[in-house]
Amino acid sequence: MRLFLTSEPPEAIRAALVEALDLVDFGMALLTPDLRLRFLNQRFLDLWALSPQSIEPGTTFRQLLKQACECGLFALTPDETPDFLAAWEIMLSDGGVEPAPLDLANGQRLLVRCVVKEDGSRILTCVDITLLRQEQQRQQEARDIAERLGVDLRFTNETLEEQAAYLATLAETADDAAQRADRANLQLEREVVERRALEVKLRHMATTDPLTGALNRAEVLTLGQQELERARIDGTNVAVLMLDIDHFKRINDGHGHAAGDAALRHLIGTVTNTVRRVDLVGRVGGEEFVVILPGIASPAAARVAVRLRQQIADAEVEYGGEPIRMTVSIGLALARDDEHSIEQTLARADAALYTAKRGGRNRVVISEEEAVVDAA
């Protein structure tokens, strides 16, 4: 079932999906019925140590696998490589592949799975399970130690003298084992801390715009929907501001794209320092941004929009020793009682934004009223 909650053109949705697939923590490859590559996400390229430049249109999965072998990804001799390639090609040609481990030369282990679609195309996924494998090995080593200790203990009943000598040895062994256990626990604690830090980092990467640090489109709409639903319960209001930098192309053309990036980051810094901590700031397009203001009335929301427009117009961005000035157009919409999706309110704010653009830019326009409440 496809569920598109936006009126964006298919190209924009497709670009967003591709971007999202590049952020997930598992590799994905889409294959045609004759096992040619249709799509590879960034995680797949990273796990298989491949570069986008090395993949050409029409490349088969066998060619990709051969390229990975030639790069030393797998611990194979030249004589083993042909059988390895043939085996994988046969498995994929025959149909789906149940989750199967695949060991790499660097010690990593991948879990690979292939699903066949109705049209004969394949979806190949791979996940790094190296940490899981290492944990299983540690557990097996612990079981082996326990088994060996059990064998040793069976000999303690032979004689009292032997038992005394054995107990002395066992005490030393137990002390060593305790020290090893302490070291293992410390290592495990470090790994847990590192894993949690990685999860936080991945969460941040998945929910924020990498250039500006603002929330990305998916995250700001998700949190905005939660605020809208909370407002319906609490009987409060939610306002949506759509901001667009006026003549942003002139900044890129006149000062370079690096200066344009600096201008975007400066804008987000200005907005973040102006609005409340509870407000949501997100980037929804190239130079388009959204600010969601929960628990606010229309007059107060208008004052926020006016203050934002003025502060951005008054500020300068220093880049390369040159001052860069910019202005923004802002559309404001207050969520209506008949709106059950934050995107409905966002669409009205967007319409007000374009009214501001057509009216001369560097101004604030309120939705429905089509009234300019602030202009330079």
Interstrand relation of 328-334 and 363-366 (parallel, antiparallel or unpaired): parallel
Residue 97 and residue 112 in contact, taking contact as beta carbons nearer than 8 Å: yes
| Contacts of the segment 372-375: beta carbons below 8 A, 24+ positions apart | 373/302, 373/305, 373/306, 373/332, 374/302, 374/305, 374/306, 374/309, 374/310
Residue 303 and residue 338 in contact, taking contact as beta carbons nearer than 8 Å: no
Residue 326 and residue 251 in contact, taking contact as beta carbons nearer than 8 Å: yes
Q: How far apart are the first and last CA of the chain?
A: 48
Choose, from 135, 199, 287, 339, the residue flagged as catalytic.
Answer: 287
Nearest to 124 by CA among 158, 100, 106: 100
Residue 255 buriedness (CB in 10 A; 0-12 / 13-18 / 19+): middle
**Phi (first) and psi of residue 130, to 5 degrees:** -60, -45
Residue 242 and residue 342 in contact, taking contact as beta carbons nearer than 8 Å: no
Q: Is 199 known to be catalytic?
A: no
C-alpha to C-alpha distance for 129 and 135, rounded to whole angstroms: 10
For the chain, how long is the longest CA-to-CA vector? 102
Annotated catalytic sites, by residue? Answer: 287
